[in-house]
Amino acid sequence: MKNPAKDGIARSLRNRLLGFFRRYQLSDQTFLIIVAVIVGFLGGLGSIGFEWMIEIGQHFFFEIVPDLVGNPKWLVILIPAFGAFFLAPLIYFFPVEAKSDGVPATMEAVALKGGIIKVRTFSTRMLASAITLGSGGSAGKEGPIIQIGASIGSAVGQFFKVSGERMRVLVGCGAAAGLAAIFNAPIAGVLFALEVVLGEFNLHSFSPIVISSVVATAVSRAWLVHGAALKLPPYMMFSYWEIFFYAILGVAAGIVSVWFTKTLHGMEKLFEKFAPVKTHWQPILGGLGVGAIGFFFPQILGCSYDPITQAIQGDFIWQTLLAMLALKIIATSLTLGSGGSGGILYPCLFMGATLGGVLGMVFNILAPNIAPHAGGYALVGMGAVLGAAVQAPMAAIMMGFELTGSYAVILPLMTSCVLATVVHRRLMHHSIYTQVLIDRGIDISAGREMGILASLTARDVMNYQVSKIPGTMPYNEVMQLFLGGRGNYLYTTDEDDNLLGVISFQDLKEFIYDDQLNGLVYAKDLANTDVVYVTPDETLASSMNKFSYIDMEELPVVAASDDGFRRLLGVITRNELMKIYRQEMLKRVMIET
């Protein structure tokens, strides 16, 4: 229930601020930059608050709880499941906001919902992820903070009553702010927001997103004096022949990213079909599996950067690294596949570091003079697996550069990240994020305008006036209907309006004056029974795809049933689809100029 007093205060503050902007006749770009500062500041604070909540969770689950029960060694098996018990109510009441990684939902909001994200996403995602990560769930904090920042950007946009392209830009500002603050990597935050969240590069959105990222990083650095959570040693390439080894690492990283994506996807499907346990209790099962793995390999629990640093420094033997790689994939898939809340960026960095560490040791054995240190391969492997999994090589390259502060790492990163991305794309076609959307019938790969078409259905634009005729109608009557202006298509139906076939005037033009067909040919003889059709709930994007491979100007809309009957409801035209597409393009041009 809305509070009139709070609404009045918010309305008064908004009107004062908008009045200030109008008084000084600020341009749209200036307005966005000012608001981007606000989003960046709030995003930085959100990042700090999220870190604080995770630390509280870790203190409770790994210090207070063990002390209360005598700190037995086997307790680590139960802690992730115990945390999932607290997560269950959030998943029950807010399943969309609390489960899994929040980045796909943010991408969907940008592509299909005009950047509108529910305000409750901020608190729900923060609490759910803090519980999961604080209790040892195998996931990352970067994905949640991206959605938390994006929800802040959307909330600020809703406060100022912006819409369309401006709202999407502010969501991108928030996403960049969150990632930049948590990683202390402002440029990587900008590129991730542009490559992944918005899915496009343009000058209109670039400047505000940069501003938000810088402000959030400054706020985070001012509070977290120690700087970046992940501290990497300076990088040095000893020979340009190492590029060949980094190319091999890139191919391997692409394969690992596909392995992770398919395992996570398969685990999600497995839990979806696991009917005996209700959805909100399933993370407890996942937590038990993670706890069992963590009992033998505690490095896979939570989101500590210490194992990554140790892998880069060469503190593990290759057998341990290989086991950690495989078990991290399984543990993360259990955590997120069962419904736990967390991100996939940190697990990708973990997998990349362990993979690179193993291959670095192999290369050192094969060519000790060319590859004397395995640590560099662990470092580059982080960026390669990350860039491949999320299909954002530029962001991954820049993240590696910012975390090391060494320009020498650029060439190896570019080689491995690009090759890994290509291999993943060749084997998988979709990123780990877009695969989630594909499973839900949403394809944003064709761009935001096609994303708009994916948000509408045939029911929204179909024409209910359709020319239906019985299959027994004689040829001469069929031609009279065409010549009388009944359109270019006639649909043959039975007495229950079930679609039997379609007759195209284009196919009959050469027989217009052939009187010999009268009394010999009927509508059912002229109709094409292999009809391409759409259903009322089918998206316009799907309809557009069907138009692309058939030579027809309209498609019938039918209510299909399992028994094979297809009741004709109406038609959808190519012109109507193109009209909607052009309208979206025009809106974009008007906003960006």
pLDDT per position as a tens digit, 353-387: 999 999 999 998 888 888 778 788 999 999 999 99
Cα–Cα–Cα angle for 94, 99, 103, nearest 5°? 110
DSSP string computed for 267-281: HHHHHHT-TTS-GGG
Which residues are 498's β-sheet partners? 567
105-123 confidence digits (pLDDT tens): 888 888 777 788 888 888 8
pLDDT cut 90: percent of the chain above it: 35
What DSSP designation does 77 have?
H
- Residue given tokens 């009441």 in the structure block: 93
Query: Hey, where are the domains in the chain?
Result: 4-223, 242-445, 452-592
Could you check whether 242-445 and 452-592 share the same CATH topology? no
pLDDT of 161 above 70:
yes
Mean pLDDT, rounded, for 406-425 = 91
Query: Is 2.160.20.10 the CATH number for 4-223?
Result: no
pLDDT at 592 over 50: no
Give every CB contact of residue 583 below 8 A, 6+ residues apart in sequence: none
CA-nearest of 317, 395, 318 to 349 is 395
What integer pLDDT is reported at residue 182 of this predicted model? 87
Q: In whole angstroms, what is the distance from residue 488 CA to residue 551 CA?
A: 13
pLDDT on residue 233: 66
Residue 404 CA from chain centroid, whole number = 27
Residues 414, 237 contacting (CB under 8 angstroms): no
CATH code for the structural domain at 452-592: 3.10.580.10
Residue 351: its pLDDT value, please?
96
Most confident region among 140-144, 274-278, 458-462 by mean pLDDT = 140-144
Dihedral of the alpha carbons of 182, 188, 193, 196, in degrees to the nearest 10: -110
Over residues 315-331, the mean pLDDT reads 93
Q: Which CATH superfamily is domain 242-445 in?
A: Clc chloride channel (1.10.3080.10)
What pLDDT, on a 0 to 100 scale, did the predictor assign at position 593? 46
Residue type, 354: T
Angle, alpha carbons 186-188-191 (nearest 5°): 110
Asked if 60 and 300 count as a contact pair (C-beta separation under 8 A), the reply is no
**Length reported for the chain:** 593
Residue of higher predicted confidence among 577 and 518? 577
Q: What is the predicted pLDDT for the residue at 6?
A: 53
pLDDT of residue 229: 57
